[in-house]
Chains A and B, each alone.
Chain A
Amino acid sequence: MTRHSVVEIRNVSRSFRSPEGAFIRAVDDISLNIEAGKFTTLLGPSGCGKTTLLRMIGGFEEPDQGTVLIDGVDMTYRPPFERPVNTVFQHYALFPHMTVAENIGYGLSVAGLPKAEISKRVTEALRLVRLEGMGSRPTRKMSGGQQQRVALARALILQPKILLLDEPLAALDRRLRKDMQFELKKLQHELGIAFLCVTHDQEEALAMSDQIVVMNSGHVEQIGTPKEIYQTPKTRFAAGFIGEMNFIKAVAVGSGSSATTYEGVGGLKVSSTTGTTPGSEVTLAIRPEHLQINVGHTAPTAHTIAGTVIDSSYLGTNTRIEVNASGNTLHVETEGAAAVGNGGDPISLEYDPKRVLVLPT
């Protein structure tokens, strides 16, 4: 099967006027392809332009510049009712004066389908989102999770080329959110319709997506699978936004046969298999779980960092330890309850140079 893009975004920009009168570039010259049949997530902090981008695909905003193609057709300035795209809104936007079935059947009824056909497809849609027999209920009487499903059914019944989800889980409580993450992913795989989901929750993005688009202040930082984004972030922002990360500002000082040595604050020496020209300033990044903690003074090796414990907290499945290494604060995570002693106790951290990422400052 050849891959093709269901949505192509070409050099799209959109500015808003802030309350103070200054222009803000919410989306700044973004080009992006959304693949058909995949679960893609736009991930970024609030104000990064992800929702604006989604709304331009849905037809609720027009770009100042650039082109939006949906299924190969230029839809840049088409109104939402002419686009083969449907949206699950952040607060669901269910019609309060209609029942569940009327909400789900709204799109079909507007399209002028016969009543029997509508009711047949509404029943199917209700089954799809596991709300059998609830069609005649008023939407107001339903729980948040149920309302979410109604919104999903209402959008999916029109068999869109792509389903847009605007922070779909933000209004649900934590436990329900986990269930719905799984359910959304399953639904997407069953239907094979492309899903494009906007979220600021990195855990959610990792759990659901085939493809993550990391966004920051109006532009794309990185596109990749959850694994790629987590394991090999390409920018400092991507590294810091997804999961926990230790950053060490350092300068390349010299290369050995297999690793380059970097020197950070306080003469802290770290080596990485990724090399760069000596003298260049970089940011080293290493995940807390990739630091192995050893209590007490141990013989220094090439791949250890000496330090002292600042504090530690036990979190059930793991323990988080804050370490001071020559004036750099590093976070370490170990499985289970680690006996690391008290604040000020000396420890050493062991790491694999392959795990040390070298990012531009």
Chain B
Amino acid sequence: MTAAAPPARNTGKPRKWVGPLITLGPGMLMLLALFLVPIALVTIYSVLTGDTYGGVKWELSPAAYKRLVGMPDLEELRDTWEFVYLWIIIKSIGLAAVTALLALIVGYPAAYYIARRGDKQKYFLLFLVTLPFFANALVRMYAWILILRKDGILNNALQGMGLIHEPLQMIYTPGAVAVAMLYQYLPFMVLPLFASIEKLDGSLIEASFDLGARRFTTFRRVVLPMTMPGVVAGLVLVFVPALGNFVAPTLIGGGKDLYLSTLLAQAFLTARDWPFGSAVATFLSVVVVLALLAIAMSNGERKAGAPQS
């Protein structure tokens, strides 16, 4: 008898595990094989000793974490604390956070506008938002290089208009990386925002106006609190992938400024220090999971205080 077979009649109780097995089973299996196992491997590697040409020796060692937090290490000829790697992590988190905030500032008005259109227009505009997904991510990044580089479109245009006399250094700056990532992840912000703004009952806005609240007050006290789930979802959906983005820091950032992703690539591919790379990856995962937990808990508290739909 296979798992998919319907429960035999007259046995009384239907088998409770059949439904979950069919619906959740395949997904769970995928996650187990392709996500949990690699994560476990990475976590284990991070506490082992590195081999000279990559790979690991099965000897426990805290060296990778010591190096990550910059502890003095005589073998590496360091006798003081050095926070190179922690600084890279902080910088990466900062960059991802700025990208997420920019996406919120740019995406909210756009999502609001789209959500308040008629049905036909609404879904056409949403389609336009997702249009960049149809082009290859790498191609889109090369386009940004053409726009931002010294003799690129933007510099040429600004010089042509006489606004600047020397070409600006735009490419290979953190700002350029943030803008490129903003462009890449904006749909992830707009879509959840759209979903929660669309659900917002227009008569609540009218009620707020009716009670004397002007537009900004209405936004701050009614619209924003009611669409908070969309804001949080959008921030998470932009922040998390931005933190691990490899293409933008490499191509637009020029690879000279190390971010988490480039540091990881360097540790595994160039330095062939697998335990160190694994330690960076594990540390990053822990930070992300803690951040998500904090958000989930603050959401739960708000719900308990004043229930939302």
Q: In this assembly, does B195 line the interface, its C-beta being within 8 Å of a C-beta of chain A?
A: no
Task: Report the minimal beta-carbon distance from A333 to chain B, rounded to whole angstroms.
Answer: 40
Closest B residue to A160 using CB positions? B210
Asked if residues B210 and A80 are in contact (CB atoms below 8 Å), the reply is yes
Q: In this assembly, does B117 line the interface, its C-beta being within 8 Å of a C-beta of chain A?
A: no
Q: Which A residues are CB-close (under 8 A) to B221?
A: 106, 110
Q: Which A residues are CB-close (under 8 A) to B59?
A: none
Closest A residue to B209 using CB positions? A80
Q: What's the tally of chain B residues with a CB closer than 8 Å to chain A?
A: 21
Q: A116-149 interface mask toward B, CB cutoff 8 Å, 1 = contact, 0 = none?
A: 0000000000000000000000101100000000
Interface centre among A58, A110, A141, A155 (most CB of B within 10 A): A110
Q: Which B residues are CB-close (under 8 A) to A85?
A: 210
Q: A324-344 interface mask toward B, CB cutoff 8 Å, 1 = contact, 0 = none?
A: 000000000000000000000
A99, B211: Cα distance in complex, Å: 16
Q: In this assembly, does A98 line the interface, its C-beta being within 8 Å of a C-beta of chain B?
A: yes
Cross-interface CB contact of A89 among B207, B212, B307, B309, cutoff 8 Å = B207
A95, B222: Cα distance in complex, Å: 7
Asked if residues B211 and A110 are in contact (CB atoms below 8 Å), the reply is yes
Taking A138-B307, A140-B307 as contacts, is the C-beta distance between A93 and B213 under 8 angstroms? no
Closest B residue to A107 using CB positions? B211
Q: In this assembly, does A182 line the interface, its C-beta being within 8 Å of a C-beta of chain B?
A: no
Q: Which A residues are CB-close (under 8 A) to B214?
A: 81
Closest A residue to B222 using CB positions? A95
A-B contact count (CB 8 A): 71
Q: Which A residues are CB-close (under 8 A) to B103?
A: none
A39, B226: Cα distance in complex, Å: 35
Task: Report the minimal beta-carbon distance from A7 to chain B, rounded to whole angstroms.
Answer: 15
Task: Report the minimal beta-carbon distance from A174 to chain B, rounded to whole angstroms.
Answer: 24
A286, B279: Cα distance in complex, Å: 92
Interface centre among B204, B207, B208 (most CB of A within 10 A): B207
Q: A79-118 interface mask toward B, CB cutoff 8 Å, 1 = contact, 0 = none?
A: 1110001110111011111110000001100110000000
Q: Which A residues are CB-close (under 8 A) to B213?
A: 81, 106-107, 110
Q: Which B residues are CB-close (under 8 A) to A94?
A: 207
Q: In this assembly, does A158 line the interface, its C-beta being within 8 Å of a C-beta of chain B?
A: yes
A238, B253: Cα distance in complex, Å: 76
Asked if residues A96 and B309 are in contact (CB atoms below 8 Å), the reply is yes
Q: B295-309 interface mask toward A, CB cutoff 8 Å, 1 = contact, 0 = none?
A: 000000000001111
Q: Which A residues are CB-close (under 8 A) to B226?
A: 96-97
Q: In this assembly, does A59 line the interface, its C-beta being within 8 Å of a C-beta of chain B?
A: yes
Q: Which A residues are CB-close (under 8 A) to B208?
A: 95, 106, 110
Q: Which B residues are CB-close (under 8 A) to A86?
A: 210-211
Asked if residues A81 and B309 are in contact (CB atoms below 8 Å), the reply is no
A98, B302: Cα distance in complex, Å: 11
Q: What's the tally of chain A residues with a CB closer than 8 Å to chain B?
A: 29
Asked if residues B212 and A95 are in contact (CB atoms below 8 Å), the reply is no
A94, B203: Cα distance in complex, Å: 9
Taking A96-B226, A97-B225 as contacts, is the C-beta distance between A80 and B306 under 8 angstroms? no
Q: Which B residues are CB-close (under 8 A) to A110?
A: 208, 211-213, 217, 221
Asked if residues A97 and B308 are in contact (CB atoms below 8 Å), the reply is yes
Q: Which B residues are CB-close (under 8 A) to A155?
A: 210-211
Asked if residues B210 and A58 are in contact (CB atoms below 8 Å), the reply is yes
Task: Report the minimal beta-carbon distance from A246 to chain B, rounded to whole angstroms.
Answer: 41
Closest A residue to B303 using CB positions? A97
A93, B207: Cα distance in complex, Å: 6
Asked if residues A99 and B306 are in contact (CB atoms below 8 Å), the reply is yes
Asked if residues B206 and A111 are in contact (CB atoms below 8 Å), the reply is no
Q: In this assembly, does A60 line the interface, its C-beta being within 8 Å of a C-beta of chain B?
A: yes
Task: Report the minimal beta-carbon distance from B250 to chain A, rounded to whole angstroms.
Answer: 43
Q: In this assembly, does B201 line the interface, its C-beta being within 8 Å of a C-beta of chain A?
A: yes
Closest B residue to A86 using CB positions? B210
Q: Which B residues are CB-close (under 8 A) to A161?
A: none
Q: Which A residues are CB-close (under 8 A) to B203?
A: 89-91, 93
Q: In this assembly, does A154 line the interface, its C-beta being within 8 Å of a C-beta of chain B?
A: yes
Q: Which A residues are CB-close (under 8 A) to B225?
A: 97
Q: Which B residues are CB-close (under 8 A) to A90?
A: 203
Q: Which A residues are CB-close (under 8 A) to B201?
A: 93
Q: B189-218 interface mask toward A, CB cutoff 8 Å, 1 = contact, 0 = none?
A: 000000000000101101111111110010
Task: Report the minimal beta-carbon distance from A70 to chain B, rounded to whole angstroms.
Answer: 13
Asked if residues B209 and A93 are in contact (CB atoms below 8 Å), the reply is no
Task: Report the minimal beta-carbon distance from A178 to chain B, rounded to whole angstroms.
Answer: 26
Asked if residues A138 and B210 are in contact (CB atoms below 8 Å), the reply is no
Task: Report the minimal beta-carbon distance from A1 to chain B, rounded to whole angstroms.
Answer: 29
Closest B residue to A110 using CB positions? B213
Asked if residues A81 and B306 are in contact (CB atoms below 8 Å), the reply is no
A110, B204: Cα distance in complex, Å: 15
Task: Report the minimal beta-carbon distance from B304 to chain A, rounded to whole angstroms.
Answer: 10
Closest A residue to B211 using CB positions? A107
Interface centre among B210, B212, B308 (most CB of A within 10 A): B210
Closest B residue to A166 using CB positions? B203
Task: Report the minimal beta-carbon distance from A171 to chain B, rounded to whole angstroms.
Answer: 13
Taking A98-B306, A99-B306, A140-B307 as contacts, is the C-beta distance between A93 and B211 under 8 angstroms? no
Asked if residues B210 and A87 are in contact (CB atoms below 8 Å), the reply is yes
Task: Report the minimal beta-carbon distance from A214 to chain B, rounded to whole angstroms.
Answer: 26
Task: Report the minimal beta-carbon distance from B229 to chain A, rounded to whole angstroms.
Answer: 11
Asked if residues B206 and A89 are in contact (CB atoms below 8 Å), the reply is yes
Task: Report the minimal beta-carbon distance from B72 to chain A, rounded to whole angstroms.
Answer: 52
Interface centre among B209, B212, B221, B226 (most CB of A within 10 A): B212
Q: A51-83 interface mask toward B, CB cutoff 8 Å, 1 = contact, 0 = none?
A: 000000011100000000000000000011100
Asked if residues B211 and A154 are in contact (CB atoms below 8 Å), the reply is yes
A residues neighboring B (CB under 8 Å): 58-60, 79-81, 85-87, 89-91, 93-99, 106-107, 110-111, 138, 140-141, 154-155, 158
Instruction: Taking A95-B207, A96-B307, A97-B226 as given, write out 9 further A-B residue pairs in contact, using a Cβ cutoff of 8 Å, ordered by the A residue number.
Output: A90-B203, A93-B201, A94-B207, A95-B208, A96-B308, A106-B213, A138-B306, A140-B307, A140-B309
Nearest 7 interchain pairs by C-beta:
A107-B211, A93-B207, A93-B203, A80-B209, A110-B213, A87-B210, A97-B225
Between-chain CB contacts (< 8 Å), 9 pairs: A59-B209, A81-B210, A81-B214, A90-B203, A95-B204, A96-B308, A97-B225, A106-B213, A110-B211
